Structures are given as structure tokens and as C-alpha cells.
Amino acid sequence: MKRLILYRLAMALPLLILVSMLTFVLVSLSPGDAARTILGSNATPEQYAALREALGLNDPVLVRYWHWLVGAFEGDLGRSLINGQPVLTAVTQRLGPTVSLVSLTMVVTVVFGLILGIAGAVFGGRLGRIVDLLSLFGMAVPNFVLGVCLTAIFAVMFRLLPPGGYVAPDVSLLGWARSMILPVVCLSFFAVGILAQQVKASFSDALQSEYTFNLIANGFSRRSIIFKHALKNSALPILASVGVIFSAMLSGTVLVESLFYIPGLGSLAVMATAGSDLPIVQGVAVIFTLAVVIANFLLDLAYGALNPKLRTAEA
Amino acid sequence: MSDMVLTHKPARTKSTVRTGLGLPIRGVIALGYLGLLALGAVFADFIGVGDPLRQNLLGAKMPPGEHFWLGSDQLGRDIFARLIYGAREVMLGASEALLIAFGLGVTAGLAAGYVRGRLDSILSAIADMLQSVPAIAVLLAVLAVFEGNIHAAMILFGVLASAAMFRVVRAATMSISEERYVLAARLAGVGTWTILWRHLARRLRSVLMVQSAIVVALAIVNQVGLSFLGLGSKPPAPTWGSVLMDGAAVLFTDTWMIIPPVVMISITILAVMVVGDAFQDAATTRIGRGSPIRPSVRYMPGAGARFGTVAISNQQPLVEVSGLSIGIGGRGTPLWLIQDVSFSVRHGEIVGLVGESGAGKSVAARAILNMFPNGSVVEGTIRYAGREVVPPARGVPSPRIGYISQQPMAALDPAFTIGNQLCEAIALHDGARRGKEREKAMELLDLVQIREPSKVLELYPHQISGGMAQRVAIAIALSGNPQLLVADEPTTALDVTVQLEILNLLKALQQQKGLAILLVTHDWGVVARMCERVITFYAGEIVESAGVSDIFFDPRHPYTRALRAADPHGQRGVERLPVIAGQVPPPGKRPSGCNFQARCQFGIARCALKPIELETYGDDRHVRCIRLNELKVPR
């Protein structure tokens, strides 16, 4: 258990460095730079050269990366090339909608993934087939395609839901809920299918095991076998797949937020990409990676708590 | 040397109905669609698809019809042509991603799986890292620099996706290089790579197809998604994403315009997934209804015994199985696992069920617990303690019967402590004594002769030995104070000394608590030590039932005789141990007449004519042999 946590920690740092370095090298390749942005187009070449020198833009890439890294640890992720806004400010301003979207989607995914997966494993037959089909269609109909279709149906044809936009929950709770329905459905469709299939597979394994047979034979209740014994035994593969789904979901916000005009991190990254504003893209990439690292770390702690073999091996 | 290796070819896996290409039909259809799309895209210039770029503002937003198969967009461009030409970029991008993922993943996977050691840990760590990268964030960074260059993004996607490919190949290589034929070749220093490659190629084929399909599908999703955001090839280049975007832009006025791209995108990804899925081993797909915890079982009322129930004793027995037949398979004739099984167990008696594996003794024993394989057809009845339990009465809780199995370690839930499981079992049967479960648990562990019960209660199954696990399993089985314990080869998996302890424990429980035990075994030593009566199974039927001394000293059925002769216990000197030639006929391949006729040294033509009845012989004995009275030769 300790080893697992140490491994994750040892892994997190190179991962963050890898992603930031990759994006940083890309930044250094891009034509625009901070000096040009700050000065605007009317500055003389002398002014430009002086500011470049002052900003350290003439240093080698690695030196500049080091400066960036030191700054990043102090919370300074650079400035936007478009409007000079600090990246950290731009990112934190747009954190709220993304957190709303991702956390709601996670809840929906886990609830429906568990229900469908367990039902598929317990009842088998046709219901089990439906779970397989759902995960197949979740893959085949990407979130933005589903988003366009659902907007056509619920916003255009029946006018039940807004076609886009975001209402903060402290402004109007109802408005927030209405603005979240379609994005959450789109973002969770794929994830529910994948999770349900994983849950179904792990549950089927657990239900076919020798100990389940023994529990049934000795008269344990079906409810306890499903929701206590099988659930805990299949928790590890389910958690692993939740980790993968979380990472995929962050990627999904990029499309879903753009489609539904949600002012979150994903749409910020898209706008920045379109404007070649690399510090912002880099900032979002680092924040997303950090989120994945933290999520994996929490999942590892959960592994330890759920797996007696890992926990007892500590002694 | 190479001969030895060649003979170790693994058996071909069974599969469902397949077409000439070795694929299920859906796979062929999906492959056909993808092939057609590819041909159309490649030869679009020559087959009159139309110009994807030609604008015609007079013919803008025309619904599908004679002018435009799939309609025209805001600028009057042919949507069908744009989709077909757009398929070029989709396929090119997906191929780039696949090529990179395949090349990197397979090479690294083979290397890590074969060389292992440090190389493996480094490569695995890199794969871990790649899998944690949120793909699209990095793709966006690439697109921000290489403006609109979707190919750069797809190549990077291939690098990220190689991690999953790596894992699959690594695992397969590891498991194969551990197999004996490879180890043997390795030791002999002969062509390891050739052998490894040959077996690996076969094993990996389906796995790689599935993984490749996923990589291609995700590559399409990402690529179309990026061009949908306007970050791919610049307009007016025809891309699927831009066609969808164009449709979405006029969603409120011309809703139909999203349908062609939506259908095209979804069908294509679906086809890719179906092709991958079709290559997956068909044996893994389960057919039929039911599940392990809700098996579908059909009880056939009134079917009963073929020859009428055999009354074994005038005393009311604890268990009475009459005319029990269990088959698998729905419509038509079921595949009979056991047929016409009737026997009984008296209060406090130990009865042995013996026979070779596959004879049906476990199936019969489990039937008493009302546990049948999924998809069973069940005929006959079982009464327990004067009540009918098979077919089960609705709304009546099942009676308490204890069960212990062959694999004590696997029989305990690994995720919960011994105390947790035992207490749950106690609470289940003893609802009134809530809060006192722990006390009772200690008593039970004491009963099964476990020292330091309070310490054992805190342990997990993986922390105790096999013998102790079997004692715990017995304690759980006894938690409901049952009158009967069904023990399915309870000592087979244990060390010899531990076997003896467990047998002594069971015997002690029978004597102290008056517990009846139905003991499934194939060990004559266990039978001799434990049982009062023995029931011999052969090919799904009872062939003989008798008191233990009769079975040992005067077996009547030719099979029991042969079985006794083949028993290594009691063999003296160096004479060769006789074996029974031939094999047990499996369900569905059983002959008409006597099942043992082909292997029987007394077999005659009459044995094959019709099913043989179980006949009463002497006092409280039954034998299924038509030559029973002719064969009364002293041994």
C-alpha cells in the first residue's frame, strides 16, 4: 500500500513535467510572443527587443522552462498572449462551470453505470445484452454528435430546454439545472456505457466465483450477496475504470462546453487554440493533468481501503 | 526437439456460425461497408460523386432529393460529396494514429514481455504516464502550434494510444513465454523467437483486432471532434466535422441538415467497433437467459421416476430424492447430466456419493440445496425434513442445510474478515439474537476446534491456512444449526495430515450433534473412514447403493467392482494396478441401455437393448445391472 502511494507520487511529478514541458516547447515554437502582445503593433523594434530581453525571451528554451516551472510552483503560469491576463486568473475564472459539469456528470455516470451494470449481471439475458449495446452506441455516437441531436430534439423541436449557455447556481438553481441537463447527458452517455460494461463484467466474475456459490448454498440473502459481497469484490476494477473515465471526461468537456456555450476550461482551451494563445492552452493542460493525478491518487487510497491484501501487506 | 514443441499446439477454440472469411455475418457486413466507403473516398474523382467545393447559392439548403442525394448546405455545396471526400481525411488520420499506436505498442509490448526486468518497469511506467495524460488537452496544444494540421494531432494521438496496445501485448507475451513449450525450447536454446512468434501471433490476433478497433474509433471521434470545433483543416476543405458544424449552425431553420453527417459518423464508428468485436473469440459471448445468481431453472412437474421411486427404508428419512433428472438446454431434448436418481439420507447418517469426475455426484448433491446450473431442466422431487424442497414452494423460506466445498480458500469471500462473514451467517439464521452474533461466532469457531477464536475473527481469508479455512467454512455452514451438511469433496485440496483432521472433525460433529452428512468424494479411504452407506454414480446414474461393508467386500455392479479393483488403497506388493479401459460417455453421447456396457467385462448384447432398471438386491441394496443374478460368482 505504501509502495503504491509512493509509486503514484513518483509518477505524478514526471507526468506534470512531461505535459508542461511538451506544451512549453510548443510555445517556444509558436510565432507570437508575450513581448509583441504586450506592446501591440505600434512599438518600435528597439522597444520590442528591449522588452524581449527584459522578459527573458532570448534565453535558451530550457532556461525559460526552468523560470516557468519556478513560477508555476508559486502559482504563476504566465500570461495570455491575446489580452495579457494572467493564466491562473483566466483559469480560475472559468473553473466553476467545468467543476459543475464534471462533478454532475461523474455522479450521473457512477449511479447509472452501477445500476445498469449490476442489473445486467444479476438478470443476465436481454438486460445484459442491452448494457453491451449501450456501450457500443456510447462509442459510436460521440458526445458532440449526440449533443447536436439532443439540441435539435429538446431545444429546437420541443423547446423544453435551452440550447446552450450557463447559469451559475447562485443566480438561479433551476436555471443552472436546466442549463446542465443536455451537457451532462451528452458527456455521460459514453461513460455510462463503458462503466456499466465494466461493472457487469466484474459483477459476473464475482457472482460466478466459488465464494458466491458457497454464500448462496449456505442461505445468504441475495441482497447481501449482490450489494455487499459482490460489490466490494468488484470494486477494484470498477474504480480503475472510473479513473480512466474521469480522464476521458475532462477531454470531453472541451467539445461539450464549446457546443453548449458553457464558459468553462474546455471552451477556454478551444478559444485559446483557435487564437494560438499557447500559455492558456498550456495552463488548461496542466490543470487537467493535475486533476487526473489527484483523482488517481484518491482512487489509489480507495484501493488500499477496499483491498485487504494491500492493506494487510503493509505490516 | 522441435517435434516435441509441435505436438503442443493448443486446441482451436470453438466458435459460433462463421462465414467463409472466418467472421460472423455482422463483421462481414461492417467490413463491407468500410471497404465501400474507402473505395468511394479513394476513387471519388472517377465515380461521379460530384464536386465537394462547388458553390451554388441558388441551390442552397436543398433537402435530399434528385439534385443532391443528401441535400446541399448553406453555400449550395453537395453534402454527399463533402462527406465522401471528407472520408479521405478521416481514414488517413485514423490510419496514421493506428500505425503509430500499433508500431510503438507492439514493439514495446514484445520487448517488455520478453526481456522483463528493468526494461519492463521503465516501459510500464511510461505507459502509465501516457495513459494519465488528458488526450485532448495535448492535442489542442499541438493544433495551436501547427495550425489546422490534423495529421500532427493524429500522430500524437497514436503515441498516447500506444499505451493500451502495449499493455495487451505485454501481458500476452508474458503469459506465453511462461508456458512450458516455450520454456523447454528456451532451455534447449532452439528457435525461441520462432516458437514465441507463432503462438503469440495466434493468441494476439483477436486481442489486437479489438484494441485496433478501439484506437481507430477513438481516433475518428477525436479527429471529427477537432474539425467540428473548427480546429482541423481550414474551410472550405470538406471534413465530417465541418459538415456537422454547418448543419448545427442552421439547426433552428433546417434541422434535417445534421442528419447526414450524424448518420455517417455514427455508422462508421459503429462499423469499426463491430469489426473489432467480430474478431473477438465467439466463445466468450454467453448465450441464453439467467445469470449465476438468478439461474433460469425449469421444473417439470409430474415427470417423476422412470421406474417408480425406490423406497429405501420404512423409517422417515431426512432427505428423500426421487426420480431426479437434471438436464441442460432449453427447447428440444435436454442434455441430461443426471437421470432418474433416487436415494435417501437418514437422520445422523453419513452417506457417500462416489464416482469419477463428471459422473454427476456433485450435481445431485447440490440439487438438495436447490442449486442448479443456469438453464437447467429439473424433473423429480426432493423432500427434506418432511417438506418438499424441489420443486421449491413459493413464499416459503428454504430450509437450513449446510454446504462446504472442495476449495476452502476460494470458498470464503476474500474482501471480508472471517468474523464479518460468520456473524452475517449467524444473523441470517438467528435473527432474534441480534447483538450476540460475536459470542455465537466464538462458540462456533470453538466447535470446529479453532484455537484463539477471537484472533481468527479479525483475520482475512488470505491470512489463514487451507485447513483453517475449511474449519471456518464448516462453522459458517453450521451457523444455522442444520440437520444436514452437504460436503463436496471437502478434503481433496488439502494436505494429507490436514485431511485427517477435517475428517475427524466432521465425524465428531456427526456423533456430537447428530448431524447427517452427504459426502461427495472419489477417495475410497475417505469412504471407509466416514460413511455408513455408499451410493455409486456412473455417467449420471446411480449404479449401486449399499452399506459400506457390502461395497467394500461384496460389490455387485461390474463398475463398482472395477472401481474397487482400481483403488490404490489396500494394494499389496508390486502387481500392476488394474485400470478401467475406455472413458465415461459424456452427456449426450450415452448409449441406449447400460451406460457402462462399452467398458464392462461382462457386457453382452442384451445390455444395449433398453435402459436398465435399478433393482433391489437383498436388504437395502440396489444395483443397476441386468446380469445381477447371473454374476453372483464369489470373488
Does the beta-carbon distance from B371 to A285 stay under 8 Å? no
Is residue B171 predicted with pLDDT exceeding 90?
no
How much is the pLDDT for B141? 84
CATH number of the domain where residue A143 is located: 1.10.3720.10
A111 occurs within a structural domain:
yes
Across the interface, whether the CB atoms of B291 and A244 are under 8 A apart is answered: no
Nearest-CA distance from A161 to chain B in Å? 14
**Distance separating alpha carbons of residues A205 and A121, to the nearest angstrom:** 9
- Global pTM reads 0.83
Backbone angles phi, psi at B325, to 5 degrees: -125, 135
Which of the two residues, A273 and B98, has the higher pLDDT score? Answer: B98
* Shortest distance, CA A169 to any CA of chain B (angstroms): 27
Could you give phi then psi for residue B495, rounded to 5 degrees?
-65, 155
Residues A210 and A224: their CA atoms lie apart, in Å, by 16
Confidence of residue B431 (pLDDT cuts 50, 70, 90): low
In a domain, A49, yes or no: no
Predicted confidence at residue B556, as pLDDT, reads 85
> What's the confidence (pLDDT) of residue A314?
46
Asked if A209 reaches chain B (Cβ–Cβ under 8 Å), the answer is yes
**Residue B312: helix, strand or coil by DSSP?**
coil
Cross-chain residue pair B460–A312, CB shorter than 8 Å: yes
Flag whether pLDDT at B287 surpasses 80: no
> Would the CB atoms of B133 and A15 count as touching at under 8 Å?
yes
Mean pLDDT, chain B, whole residue set: 83
Contact check, Cβ <8 Å, B136/A251: yes
Count of CB atoms within 10 A of residue A295's CB?
Answer: 18
What is the grid cell recorded at B50? 460530384
Of A28-32, A153-157, B468-472, the range with the lowest mean pLDDT is A28-32
| Residue A290 maps to a domain | no
Q: What is the pLDDT of residues B50-88, one digit of tens each?
A: 788 888 878 788 888 777 778 888 888 888 999 999 999
pLDDT tens-digit readout, B294-326 = 788 888 765 544 444 444 455 688 999 988 999
**CA closest to B479 among chain A residues:** A218
CA atoms within 13 A on the CB side of A283: 30
When mean pLDDT is compared over A162-176, B200-214, B316-330, the highest value belongs to A162-176
Interface residue B288 vs chain A (CB under 8 A) = yes
Q: Which domains does chain B have, with CATH numbers?
A: 88-283 (1.10.3720.10), 319-567+579-623 (3.40.50.300)
Could you give the 3-state DSSP secondary structure of residue B562?
helix
Listed by number, the residues of chain B in 217-246 with a beta carbon closer than 8 Å to a beta carbon of chain A are: 217, 221, 224-225, 228-231, 244
Grid cell, residue B505, equals 472433525
Residue B133's nearest CA partner among A91, A241, A22 is A22
Interchain proximity A221–B428, CB inside 8 Å: yes
CB-facing half-sphere around the CA of A207: CA atoms within 13 A: 28
Range of the domain at A212: 88-274
CA dihedral of residues A215, A216, A219, A222 (deg, nearest 10): 100
Length of chain B: 635
pLDDT at A38 (0 to 100): 63
Q: Is residue A186 part of a domain?
A: yes
* Predicted pLDDT at B412: 93
Say what the pLDDT of residue B1 is: 31
ipTM above 0.85, yes or no: yes
Task: Please count the structural domains in chain A.
Answer: 1
Residues contacting B226, CB < 8 A, separation 6+: B139, B143, B150, B153, B232, B241
Q: Does A224 touch chain B (CB under 8 A)?
A: yes
Lowest mean pLDDT among A240-249, B308-317, B433-442: B308-317
- pLDDT per position as a tens digit, B591-627: 888 888 888 888 888 888 888 888 888 777 888 888 8
Mean pLDDT across B137-153:
85
Q: What's residue B290's pLDDT? A: 64
More confident residue, B337 or A304: B337
The partner residue sitting opposite A226, judged by closest CB among B247, B293, B424, is: B293
Tell me, what's the pLDDT at B520? 95
The residues with which B520 forms a beta bridge, in sequence order, are B353, B488
> What's residue B163's pLDDT?
93
pLDDT tens-place string over residues A255-307 = 999 999 999 999 999 998 888 788 888 889 888 988 988 888 888 888 878 87
Contact across the interface for B460 and A142, Cβ inside 8 Å: no
Name every chain B residue with its beta carbon within 8 A of the beta carbon of A211: 410-414
Name every chain B residue with its beta carbon within 8 A of the beta carbon of A290. none
What's the pLDDT at A268?
94
Q: Are B521 and B503 in contact (CB under 8 A)?
A: no
User: pLDDT grade, residue B517 (50/70/90)?
Assistant: very high
In a domain, A66, yes or no: no
Note which residues in 416-475 of chain B have CB less than 8 A from chain A.
416-417, 424-425, 428-429, 460, 462-463, 473
**Residue B341 near residue B324, CB atoms below 8 Å:** yes
Long-range contacts: A124-131, Cβ < 8 Å, 24+? A124/B286, A124/B289, A124/B290, A124/B291, A124/B294, A124/B374, A125/B288, A125/B289, A125/B290, A125/B291, A125/B296, A126/B289, A128/A200, A128/B286, A128/B291, A131/A193, A131/A196, A131/A197, A131/A200
What does the DSSP 8-state code read for residue B511?
Answer: H
Q: Which of A122, A142, A291 sits opposite B224 (nearest CB)?
A: A142
pLDDT value at B19 more than 70: no
| Per-residue pLDDT at B576 | 64
